[in-house]
Protein backbone atom coordinates (compact mmCIF):
# COMPACT_ATOMS: atom_id res chain seq x y z
CA UNK A 1 0.00 0.00 0.00
CA UNK A 2 1.00 3.57 -0.69
CA UNK A 3 -0.60 6.45 1.16
CA UNK A 4 -0.73 9.80 -0.60
CA UNK A 5 -1.56 13.13 1.03
CA UNK A 6 -1.89 16.29 -1.01
CA UNK A 7 -1.44 19.82 0.30
CA UNK A 8 -1.12 23.35 -0.99
CA UNK A 9 -4.53 24.03 -2.42
CA UNK A 10 -6.45 27.23 -1.87
CA UNK A 11 -7.83 30.34 -3.48
CA UNK A 12 -5.67 32.23 -5.98
CA UNK A 13 -6.31 35.01 -8.48
CA UNK A 14 -6.09 34.43 -12.18
CA UNK A 15 -2.52 34.87 -13.36
CA UNK A 16 -1.15 33.79 -10.02
CA UNK A 17 0.78 30.73 -8.93
CA UNK A 18 0.16 27.80 -6.62
CA UNK A 19 2.38 24.94 -5.51
CA UNK A 20 0.86 21.57 -4.70
CA UNK A 21 2.72 18.88 -2.80
CA UNK A 22 2.03 15.20 -2.41
CA UNK A 23 3.65 13.26 0.41
CA UNK A 24 3.92 9.51 -0.02
CA UNK A 25 4.36 6.83 2.61
CA UNK A 26 4.25 3.07 2.64
CA UNK A 27 5.94 1.13 -0.13
CA UNK A 28 9.09 2.34 -1.83
CA UNK A 29 8.32 5.66 -3.45
CA UNK A 30 11.00 5.23 -6.09
CA UNK A 31 9.19 2.22 -7.52
CA UNK A 32 6.32 4.32 -8.78
CA UNK A 33 5.38 6.63 -11.56
CA UNK A 34 3.64 9.66 -10.04
CA UNK A 35 0.95 11.81 -11.57
CA UNK A 36 -1.52 14.60 -10.97
CA UNK A 37 -5.10 14.53 -12.12
CA UNK A 38 -7.89 17.03 -11.55
CA UNK A 39 -11.65 17.13 -11.50
CA UNK A 40 -13.46 20.40 -12.00
CA UNK A 41 -17.06 21.13 -11.06
CA UNK A 42 -19.37 19.12 -13.26
CA UNK A 43 -16.47 17.59 -15.15
CA UNK A 44 -14.84 14.19 -15.36
CA UNK A 45 -11.44 13.56 -13.83
CA UNK A 46 -8.70 14.53 -16.27
CA UNK A 47 -4.99 13.98 -16.58
CA UNK A 48 -2.68 16.88 -15.73
CA UNK A 49 0.91 15.63 -15.59
CA UNK A 50 3.02 12.57 -14.89
CA UNK A 51 6.66 11.86 -14.05
CA UNK A 52 8.68 8.67 -14.23
CA UNK A 53 10.15 6.99 -11.16
CA UNK A 54 13.57 8.47 -11.92
CA UNK A 55 12.16 11.90 -12.67
CA UNK A 56 13.83 11.99 -16.06
CA UNK A 57 10.68 11.99 -18.17
CA UNK A 58 7.41 13.90 -17.94
CA UNK A 59 4.16 14.24 -19.87
CA UNK A 60 1.74 17.16 -19.63
CA UNK A 61 -1.80 17.74 -20.74
CA UNK A 62 -1.94 20.24 -23.58
CA UNK A 63 -4.06 22.55 -21.43
CA UNK A 64 -1.29 23.02 -18.85
CA UNK A 65 1.86 22.65 -20.96
CA UNK A 66 4.20 25.58 -20.44
CA UNK A 67 2.37 26.68 -17.28
CA UNK A 68 2.64 23.69 -14.92
CA UNK A 69 5.75 21.76 -13.87
CA UNK A 70 5.81 18.37 -12.16
CA UNK A 71 8.85 17.33 -10.16
CA UNK A 72 9.75 14.80 -7.50
CA UNK A 73 12.20 14.46 -4.65
CA UNK A 74 12.84 10.78 -4.09
CA UNK A 75 14.83 11.47 -0.94
CA UNK A 76 11.79 13.15 0.61
CA UNK A 77 9.10 10.94 -0.96
CA UNK A 78 7.31 13.94 -2.42
CA UNK A 79 6.01 15.04 -5.77
CA UNK A 80 5.26 18.68 -6.53
CA UNK A 81 3.07 20.40 -9.07
CA UNK A 82 4.11 24.02 -9.63
CA UNK A 83 1.27 25.89 -11.30
CA UNK A 84 1.87 29.29 -12.89
CA UNK A 85 -0.29 31.64 -14.94
CA UNK A 86 -3.39 30.09 -13.45
CA UNK A 87 -6.73 30.47 -15.18
CA UNK A 88 -10.28 30.16 -13.83
CA UNK A 89 -10.65 26.95 -15.84
CA UNK A 90 -7.88 25.43 -13.72
CA UNK A 91 -10.30 25.41 -10.79
CA UNK A 92 -10.59 21.81 -9.66
CA UNK A 93 -9.87 19.25 -7.01
CA UNK A 94 -6.32 18.06 -7.70
CA UNK A 95 -5.39 14.45 -7.01
CA UNK A 96 -2.00 12.82 -6.64
CA UNK A 97 -1.67 9.27 -7.97
CA UNK A 98 0.95 6.51 -7.97
CA UNK A 99 1.26 3.59 -10.34
CA UNK A 100 3.44 1.53 -12.62
CA UNK A 101 2.30 2.71 -16.05
CA UNK A 102 3.80 5.93 -17.39
CA UNK A 103 0.94 7.58 -19.24
CA UNK A 104 -2.21 9.69 -19.22
CA UNK A 105 -4.75 7.01 -18.37
CA UNK A 106 -6.16 7.01 -14.86
CA UNK A 107 -6.46 3.22 -14.95
CA UNK A 108 -2.67 3.01 -14.92
CA UNK A 109 -2.50 4.41 -11.38
CA UNK A 110 -3.25 2.23 -8.39
CA UNK A 111 -3.04 4.59 -5.46
CA UNK A 112 -4.81 7.91 -5.07
CA UNK A 113 -4.85 10.74 -2.58
CA UNK A 114 -7.96 12.47 -1.27
CA UNK A 115 -7.36 15.60 -3.30
CA UNK A 116 -6.78 19.26 -2.60
CA UNK A 117 -9.02 22.03 -3.91
CA UNK A 118 -7.63 24.82 -6.07
CA UNK A 119 -9.92 27.72 -6.87
CA UNK A 120 -8.84 30.39 -9.36
CA UNK A 121 -10.82 33.60 -9.24
CA UNK A 122 -11.17 35.86 -12.27
d(C-alpha 58, C-alpha 26), whole Å:
23
CA dist 26 and 113 (Å) reads 13
The answer on pLDDT for 17 being more than 90 is: yes
Q: What is the mean pLDDT of the chain?
A: 96
How far apart, in Å, are the Cα atoms of 6 and each of 15, 66, 122?
Answer: 22, 22, 24
Between CA 122 and CA 111 the distance in angstroms is 33
Judging by DSSP bridges, how do beta strands 33-39 and 18-26 pair with one another?
A: unpaired
- Can you give the pLDDT at residue 1? 84
Amino acid sequence: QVQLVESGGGLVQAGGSQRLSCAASGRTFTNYVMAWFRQGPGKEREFVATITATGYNTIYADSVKGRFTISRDNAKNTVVLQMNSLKPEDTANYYCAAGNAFGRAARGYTYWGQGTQVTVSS
